[in-house]
């Protein structure tokens, strides 16, 4: 019985890793951060995938996922203050910086009533603008 449980656990982990690699064109570090935040916040992976294609559904569980990612990536502190230099550096590393950096600067101005909402608004703005600009992740 224990070997069956172990097999199912390993198979599920492999499936999650393969799914993450197929759907998310991110650095290994960011993939690990997203996986940890997916687990911590309980957000459905499909919502993340849709969001990163510019599609957001109202009333979903995605709201605090970006805060988790931003904090772990050091783009936001626990009080909800965005680290402008860190976010711009991340955008520059991604490529297409002539398009991404202005988008980041625009989206960083979004503010919510708390850290979760602020991160969500910045995240949503970024992915909507990236999608509108025709860029892939």
Distance from CA of residue 7 to its chain's centroid? 29
Mind listing the pLDDT tens digit for each residue in 10-51?
433 433 444 444 444 567 888 899 999 999 999 988 888 888
Give residue 52's pLDDT: 86
The C-alpha torsion from 137 through 16 and 65 to 36, rounded to 10°, is -110
pLDDT of residue 1: 52
The token pair at 115 is: 């850290």
pLDDT tens by residue, 58-113: 766 788 999 999 999 999 998 889 999 999 998 888 888 889 999 999 999 999 99
pTM score? 0.78
Which residues lie closer than 8 Å to 42 by C-beta, 6 or more apart? 61
């Amino acid at each position: 019985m224990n070997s069956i449980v172990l097999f199912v656990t390993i198979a599920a982990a492999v499936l999650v890793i393969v799914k993450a690699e197929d759907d998310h064109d991110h650095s290994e570090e960011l993939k690990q951060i997203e996986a940890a935040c997916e687990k911590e916040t309980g957000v459905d992976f499909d919502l993340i995938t849709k969001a990163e294609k510019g599609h957001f559904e109202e009333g979903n569980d995605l709201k605090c996922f970006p805060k988790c990612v931003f904090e772990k990536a050091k783009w936001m502190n626990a009080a909800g203050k965005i680290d402008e230099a860190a976010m711009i550096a991340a955008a520059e590393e991604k490529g297409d910086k002539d398009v991404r950096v202005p988008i980041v600067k625009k989206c960083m101005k979004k503010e919510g009533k708390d850290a979760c909402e602020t991160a969500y608004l910045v995240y949503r703005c970024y992915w909507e603008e990236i999608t509108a600009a025709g860029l892939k992740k």
